[in-house]
Structure 1
Amino acid sequence: MKKTLVIGATTNPERYAYMAVNSLLEKEHPVVAIGKKIDELKGVKIQVKQIPFKNIHTVTLYINPVAQRDYYNYIIGLKPKRVIFNPGTANPEFYALLGINNIKVEEACTLVLLATNQY
């Protein structure tokens, strides 16, 4: 199982980040989450601060490239194996920084990866 940090998490069921948390849990991946407000989604506490989570395999992004800048150092410091850039989050500047730090960049949809067993 791949411990995953969802950045942009929300309790709004119409948002893809909400669906991603649910799908990750259904596939039994451990999930931690950061969003705009403290909340809880299916037992996952949504944090608002950059918590130094341990053993993160994957970071999946649901925030735009401008908002991502506040997370560059944080994500690199977590040393994940990969960062998934979901549709609408493409960020070549961040790709370069991740590459320098030997972190795999994946332009993909977390929901599709999970649904097709490619996660």
Structure 2
Amino acid sequence: MKKTLILGASTNPARYSYLVANKLVRKGHPIVNVGRKTGKVAGVEIEPAEAIHTDIDTITLYVGPQNQAPYYDYILNTKPKRIIFNPGAENAELADKARAAGIEVVEACTLVMLNTGQF
């Protein structure tokens, strides 16, 4: 299963990051929740963007492009195999940096990918 880091994790059940965290766990994918607030989502604590995880397959972004720059180094140093830019998170600058680092860039909805077997 693909270990997935959810950047922009939220304890708010109305947020897509919350729905995706729960769907990933239900489907057997291990997750890492990263966000600004504390709490648990899908039984996993939300942590700050400090510790670099070296075993991440996918980072799924739920942070708007205007708020992504402080996370660039964190994202790139994590060295995921791919980054999913969910709707509203698309960012050409970060996508270019990721591609230059050999990271696959996908502009798609993680929830739809999970529901259609494309994840």
Specify the TM-score bucket, using the shorter chain as the normaliser: over 0.9
Deviates more, 1:10-19 or 1:33-42: 33-42
How much identity, in percent, do the aligned residues show? 48
Structure-2 separation of matches of 1:60 and 1:49: 14
**Equivalent residue pairs, number:** 119
Q: Are residues 1:52 and 2:52 paired?
A: yes
Structure 2 residue aligned with 1:80: 80
Letter in structure 2 aligned against 1:107: E
Contact 2:90 2:107 in 1 (8 A): yes
Q: Tell me how large the CA RMSD over aligned residues is.
A: 0.8
Shift of 1:35: 1.2
Contact 2:35 2:47 in 1 (8 A): yes
Aligned positions of 1:91-102 closer than 5 A: 91-102=91-102
Letter in structure 2 aligned against 1:6: I
Letter in structure 1 aligned against 2:55: N
Structure 1's consecutive aligned runs of 4 or more residues displaced over 2 angstroms after TM superposition are none
Task: Structure 1 unaligned segments of length 5 or more: list them.
Answer: none
Structure 2 residue aligned with 1:18: 18
Contact 1:17 1:62 in 2 (8 A): yes
Letter in structure 2 aligned against 1:11: T
Letter in structure 2 aligned against 1:22: N
TM-score by length of 1: 0.96
Structure 2 residue aligned with 1:6: 6
TM-score by length of 2: 0.96
